[in-house]
Amino acid sequence: MANPTQPPYARIAAELRRRITDGELAPGERVPSTRRLAQEWNVALATATRALTVLRQEGLVQARPRVGTVVATRRRHPAPPPGHRTTDHPARETEVTRERVVRAAVAIADAEGLAALSMRSVAARLGTATMTAYRYVNGKDDLVLLMADTVLADLPLPHRTAAESAATAGWRGRLEAGARALWQVHRAHPWLAQIGPLTRPLLLPNLMTYSEWMLSALDGHGLSPATMLNVNVLLYSHVQGLAVQSERETAARSATGQTDEEWLADQSTTMTALTTSGAYPTFTRVVGALGRDGYDLRLDELFTLGLTALLDGVAHLLDET
């Protein structure tokens, strides 16, 4: 039972620790999100984040991208109390750096969505004061840009220069490779799709590396500069438009505690009413033809379908030049 004299984050951590050790929360099972904990305990998101940070440091929970925080499958020995030092591990182990601030922010956004990110939540994850994080970044807006450039550095492009790629693939193969590389990064970090509109492009070095790859694939084929830029933006928006759904699902799961399958199951009564109303005959026929398995919306399949259609359209443009 939590000690009422403890700080709020410690009481939350103690209750979750009890549920885990008593088996109420099994290994691999998702623990309540920071948003749900904040609502349940009437505390700030930073307080709830700090509670989960304590359990993460103890090895009781771990963050999983696009899932959230789950009970760890392998337990480590609990971490020493805050402020404790040993002669074998000096203060360097807990030293705050800009890289650690950015990586902590990426981990929070991956697990809980961009809405859960704040300077306080990052500081809580690092086990430091909020003002300490401000020594390395100016605020959340600057932090998000650093996060974006950091994860975009991992773009799995087959080659990093246009000269190397020109001898190994045609325009279509290079455009497809670039789009798939960008999709892979967005799938790993769904929040990336939320950080800026197309009308205000982010001038980030690693995003420019991507654009250079795509534009160089189109260069020399007779397209106007405006058309080249339009194709680049169109392919980028295809990735962004689908990836934003992953981020929204992460946010919805965090807010409701339901998976998309659980949410759909709750809508069965409404769906039955719609399909039996007679007002939507084509929809009813198509859905009925799916049988018991129903329709499984797979973003990866939608991405491939859309990418193929877009590249076919580019081929048509090139044929007209």
Are 105 and 15 part of one and the same domain? yes
Are 125 and 221 part of one and the same domain? no
296-321: per-residue pLDDT in tens? 888 999 999 999 999 999 999 998 87
Are 129 and 198 part of one and the same domain? no
Q: Which of 70-79, 249-258, 263-272 has the lowest mean pLDDT?
A: 70-79
Residue 176: CATH number of its domain: 1.10.357.10
Answer whether residue 129 is part of any domain. yes
The whole-number pLDDT of residue 260 equals 73
Answer whether residue 2 is part of any domain. no
Considering its fold, how many domains does the chain have in total? 2
Are 119 and 251 part of one and the same domain? no
Residue 135: CATH number of its domain: 1.10.10.10
Amino acid making up residue 143: L
Residue 250 near residue 34, CB atoms below 8 Å: no
* CA gap 9, 45 in Å, rounded: 10
Are 133 and 235 part of one and the same domain? no
The whole model's pTM is what? 0.70
Boundary residue ending a domain (118, 133, 152): 152
pLDDT above 70 as % of the chain: 85
Are 109 and 187 part of one and the same domain? no
Buried b (16+ CB within 10 A) or exposed e, 256-276: eeeeeeeeeeeeeeeeeeebe
Are 148 and 168 part of one and the same domain? no
Answer whether residue 41 is part of any domain. yes
Task: Give the structural domain span for 304.
Answer: 162-264+275-320
